[in-house]
Amino acid sequence: MHIPSPSSTEFQFGVRSFFLNWLIITPFMALFGWFNMVVRLGLPVSHEVFLGPLVLGFLVSILIAVLNTKGFIKKNEIERAKIQELNETQVEVILTLSVVAEARCGEMSAHVKRVAEYTGLLAQLAGLPDEEVFLLKSAAPLHDIGKIGIPDNVLLKPGKLTPEEFSIMQEHAEIGYRLLANSTKPIREIAALVTRNHHEKWDGSGYPQRLRGEAIPICGRIVAIADVFDALGTERAYRKAWPMTRIRDYFQEQSGKHFDPHLAQLFLDNFERFAAIRKQYE
């Protein structure tokens, strides 16, 4: 949910209010001047007859517009605070849900927070509108929610998965999609797309639909980079955490294979910013 910037809407409201008042008040003021000075006092018709009432009409219009705008600003501030609170509650609920789901497979809660942060930054670098950046960043923690439908013997297996187990594990993308689809709420819609597409690869070798290139929704391509970046820097039972230099090389090598080359380039050009997020939420 995007909150419009206060200055532009409130300025426009003030200007509109002034012109409306001015159009209503000024003719009455001019009529008032003409009636009193020409009809009642018998003065000759000249511009002085109208000048005073016109200036007064102008000043009164400004005064009313200022008072109206003040009321409008106050009302807007209350509305904005309400929307902000709703947004924050929504994001907190999503984070809690994601942390619970990830905890089942031993993933740390910081992982989903970091993935959300990287996603927000990359979406912004990719030039997505503010509202989409907000939605995608809020939905990103849910990328692996489908793992709640994977049996423990596969999900918690410490060693390497057999091909059969791996194909069971891959189902988490579709399970997550089915959990979140069929909603008209924007965060759930985008979260459904993220869960389904975060394991697709640019060259078509990913899953579940083996989509290729721009057929993969951009939200999936962005979260893929965020998720892999975080996973490689995290120690696993079967391998140590990769140092940043190795991760950078990996992204260079996988650009155009696993990852969207344009997004991978944006990521590499701003690598230090992503590494700083990792440090901040270690």
Residues in the site for Fe ion, rule: CB under 5 A?
144, 227
Closer to Fe ion by Cβ: residue 227 or 260: 227
Does residue 147 carry a catalytic annotation?
A: yes
Burial of 62 (0-12, 13-18, 19+ CB in 10 A): middle
Residue 263 CB, nearest approach to Fe ion (Å): 17
Residue 217 CB, nearest approach to Fe ion (Å): 15
Closer to Fe ion by Cβ: residue 144 or 260: 144
**Residue 255 — φ and ψ, nearest 5°?**
-65, 125
Residue 6 CB, nearest approach to Fe ion (Å): 37
Q: Which of 79, 77, 108, 109 is closest to 95 using CA atoms?
A: 109
CA dihedral 190, 193, 197, 202 (to 10 degrees): -70
Exactly one of 75, 147, 157, 240 is catalytic; which is it? Answer: 147
Residue 194 CB, nearest approach to Fe ion (Å): 10
What is the distance between the alpha carbons of residues 84 and 95, in angstroms, rounded to a whole number? 16
- Per the structure block, which two tokens stand in for 135? 């939605």
Closer to Fe ion by Cβ: residue 135 or 169: 169
Closer to Fe ion by Cβ: residue 132 or 144: 144
Ranges of H-type helices in the chain: 6-34, 47-104, 109-125, 130-139, 152-155, 163-170, 172-180, 186-197, 218-232, 244-254, 261-269, 271-280
Residues with a known catalytic role: 147
